[in-house]
Amino acid sequence: MSEPGRASGFSVVAIIAAYNEADIIGHVVGDLIAQGVLVYFLDDGSTDGTLSTVEPLMGHGVIGVERLADTMPDRTPGAFEWERILRRKAQLATELDADWFIHHDADEFRESPWPRLSLCEAICLVDRLGYTAIDSERLDFWPVDEGFRPGDDVRERLTQWSEPASYDRVQVRCWKKTGAAVDLDSTGGHEARFDGRRVFPIRFILRHYPVRGQRHGTQKVFAERRARFLPGEREKGWHVQYDGLADGTSFLRDPARLRQYDGDALRVALALRHRGVVELETALARSRQQQVESAEALDVLAREVAQLRGAIDDAERRAARAGEEAGRLEALLQRSAEDAHRLREAVDAATRHVQDLHDSLSWKVTAPARALHRMLTRR
Q: Say which residue, 125 or 319, is predicted with more confidence.
A: 125
**Residue 4 maps to a domain:** no
The answer for residues whose C-beta is within 8 angstroms of residue 93's C-beta and 6 or more apart is: 13, 15, 101, 175, 177, 182
Specify which residues 104 forms β-bridges with.
16
Q: What is the CATH number of the domain that holds 111?
A: 3.90.550
Range from 15-24, 225-234, 337-346 carrying the lowest mean pLDDT = 337-346
- Alpha-carbon distance of 183 to 171, in angstroms, equals 14
Going from the C-alpha of 310 to that of each of 268, 314, 323, the distances in angstroms are: 60, 6, 20
Range from 16-30, 184-198, 242-256, 310-324 carrying the lowest mean pLDDT = 310-324
**Residue 82 maps to a domain:** yes
Domain count, the chain: 2
Question: Rg (Cα) of the chain, in Å, rounded?
Answer: 48
Q: Say which residue, 299 or 262, is predicted with more confidence.
A: 262
Going from the C-alpha of 191 to that of each of 92, 141, 168, 338, the distances in angstroms are: 16, 21, 10, 94
**Residue 232 maps to a domain:** yes
**Residue 1 maps to a domain:** no
User: Do 264 and 362 share a structural domain?
Assistant: no
User: Do 300 and 267 share a structural domain?
Assistant: no
User: Do 209 and 350 share a structural domain?
Assistant: no
Continuous H helices in 146-230: 154-157, 214-218
User: Do 166 and 56 share a structural domain?
Assistant: yes
Residue ending a domain, among 273, 291, 309, is 273
**Spatial CA neighbour of 108 closest among 200, 37, 29:** 29
**Residue 33 maps to a domain:** yes
User: Do 190 and 62 share a structural domain?
Assistant: yes
In this predicted structure, what is the pLDDT of residue 369? Answer: 72
Q: Whats the size of the chain, residue-wise?
A: 379
Residue ending a domain, among 273, 307, 328, is 273
pTM to 2 decimal places: 0.75
Going from the C-alpha of 369 to that of each of 357, 360, 363, 372, 373, the distances in angstroms are: 19, 15, 10, 5, 6
- Alpha-carbon distance of 261 to 367, in angstroms, equals 145
**Residue 105 maps to a domain:** yes
- Alpha-carbon distance of 42 to 67, in angstroms, equals 6
User: Do 194 and 140 share a structural domain?
Assistant: yes
User: Do 172 and 94 share a structural domain?
Assistant: yes
Q: Say which residue, 295 or 80, is predicted with more confidence.
A: 80
User: Do 146 and 226 share a structural domain?
Assistant: yes
What pLDDT, in 10s, does the model give residues 223-263?
Answer: 999 989 999 999 999 999 999 899 889 999 999 999 999 99
Specify which residues 66 forms β-bridges with.
42
User: Do 323 and 182 share a structural domain?
Assistant: no
What pLDDT, in 10s, does the model give residues 171-210?
Answer: 999 999 999 999 999 999 999 999 999 999 999 999 999 9
- Alpha-carbon distance of 194 to 95, in angstroms, equals 16
User: Do 305 and 266 share a structural domain?
Assistant: no
In this predicted structure, what is the pLDDT of residue 327? Answer: 86
User: Do 304 and 251 share a structural domain?
Assistant: no
User: Do 351 and 234 share a structural domain?
Assistant: no
**Residue 7 maps to a domain:** no
In this predicted structure, what is the pLDDT of residue 280? Answer: 63
Continuous H helices in the chain: 25-34, 50-54, 68-71, 82-95, 119-128, 154-157, 214-218, 231-235, 263-272, 275-378
Residue ending a domain, among 250, 273, 296, is 273
**The domain containing residue 129 runs over which residues?**
12-273
Once rounded to an integer, what is the mean pLDDT over residues 78-84?
93
**Residue 6 maps to a domain:** no
